[in-house]
Amino acid sequence: MARNLARILGGCGSLVPFMKTPACPPRNSSSIPPARTLVQMLFSKSRDFSLPNSSWGEEMMRLYEFYNGQSDVETEGEENQGREWKRLPSYNRSLKYATGGVYLSKIIQSKARLFTRNIREPGAAFEYVLFINKEKERCVCVFQAGHLLEGPPGHVHGGAIATMIDTVTGTHASAISAPVMTANLNIDYRSPIPLGSTVLIESTLEKTEGRKLYISCKVTSTDGSKRHTDATALFVSISVAHLLKG
């Protein structure tokens, strides 16, 4: 079993031409783990950061339960069961969505981490969960801003807000036409977001033109009474080969 898996992984270097070093260790290397370890890494599950943890506040939990009560978890190949929303899982690397991604993540730039998921301390930075409604072409994110995201004293940094807008609209666009790259992002900041507070980030698909997807976005208080930010985004769908070339 280990020998067969070693043969398979031995060809990984050709799949990632941008790497400067071989993606996999030599076949006869003592660093190749035993068969049982390989299988465990290949099929083990990653931590889903979109699930509740002890840092989530009351409002974060309330909104999570509201949308989660109307949703299913998005899984590849699974048909819509008629529910309005689908919860999107979130990992510390996008690569982990792929089949065998847990193992691939260990051999392709193993130290890389998704920017919004690179802090281990719960509640310190980006706490969020996304739900998508493909029929209505909408996406909603429940976002709780941690203390490490400070910009103006006591409030969230504008760059952190822009990061979340790009994350939400980009995830929305990817769900429609994966994969995509951000081509343009315009943001109007209206009122500051207090650190530790929970807000809603909602995106709507406005139109598509060939490979281009135009999406609008707004950031509001959870009751909708305050508008924090407005944004528009343009994404362009690309091929996987183009993504690998860099």
Catalytic residue numbers, as ranges: 166
Provide DSSP, 69-126.
TTEEE--TTPPP-S-SEEEEP--S-GGGGSTTHHHHHHHSSTT---GGG---STTSSE
- Cβ neighbours, 10 Å, residue 2: 14
What residue has token string 């089949």?
A: 99
Amino acid at 165: I
Kindly provide the b/e burial profile for residues 158-181, where b requires at least 16 CB atoms within 10 angstroms of the residue's own CB.
eebbebbbbbbbbbbbbbbeeebe
The H-or-E segment that residue 220 falls in is strand 212-221
CA distances for 48 relative to 45, 89, 148, angstroms: 9, 6, 21
Alpha-carbon Rg for the chain in angstroms: 20
Phi first, then psi, for residue 14 (nearest 5°) are -70, -20
Nearest CA-CA partner of 163 in 191, 215, 126? 126
Amino acid at 68: N
